Amino acid sequence: MKPLASFARFVLCGGGVGVLSSGAVALLGGVMPWVLANALITAASTILCTELHARFTFGTGRHAGWRRHWQSAGSAVAAYAVTSVAVLILHMVQSSPGMLTEQIVYLSASGLAGIGRFLLLRLFVFAGGRSRTSVPALSPTLSPALSPARVQETWAAAGRASAPWGRAYAEPAAA
């Protein structure tokens, strides 16, 4: 799949879940410590996003599987750290920031972490899962340059009696 198309799907799936997660973190942060709320929402959204990315973003068209979930979870831990540190720094700088300011900082940090996650997921986690264009098997009808007769002629021009497989596979001479 083309990188820009998969990035657009990544932004749509991951960004959509990220925006919903942002609101959920803000709501849960009102009833529990913010860092715990962020951890819970990050875990739930990572599971959802890994499935979406496996099926749609990176073109595997199937369930992500445990290995990919664990690899994706590793990148989510880094994203969690980035968002948590960003909001904790905000709270150090401004003792009581408004929800809008907190959301701007959180979403900015999430965006930066998301770009890093996209690269990691595309290049490593889902690299082997992309559907690729199949290459047709070589045959004399598809590639005249590799036909048995052409190979036989090449070997003969090189001073050999016959190609490695012998004359049994050479095409019959024109009468």
Q: Exposed, middle or buried: residue 14 (CB in 10 Å: 0-12, 13-18, 19+)?
A: buried
DSSP assignment letter at 122: I
pTM for the structure as a whole? 0.57
25 with 31: CB under 8 angstroms? no
- Is the pLDDT at 52 greater than 60? The verdict is yes
CA dihedral 97, 102, 105, 111 (to 10 degrees): 180
Q: What is the CA radius of gyration of the chain?
A: 27
Q: What is the pLDDT of residues 91-109, one digit of tens each?
A: 999 999 999 999 999 889 9
| Angle of helix 99-120 versus helix 65-93 axis, rounded to 10 | 150
Residues 121 and 14: their CA atoms lie apart, in Å, by 12
Domain spans, the chain: 3-129, 134-170
Q: What is the pLDDT of residues 132-160, one digit of tens each?
A: 443 333 334 444 544 555 555 655 555 55
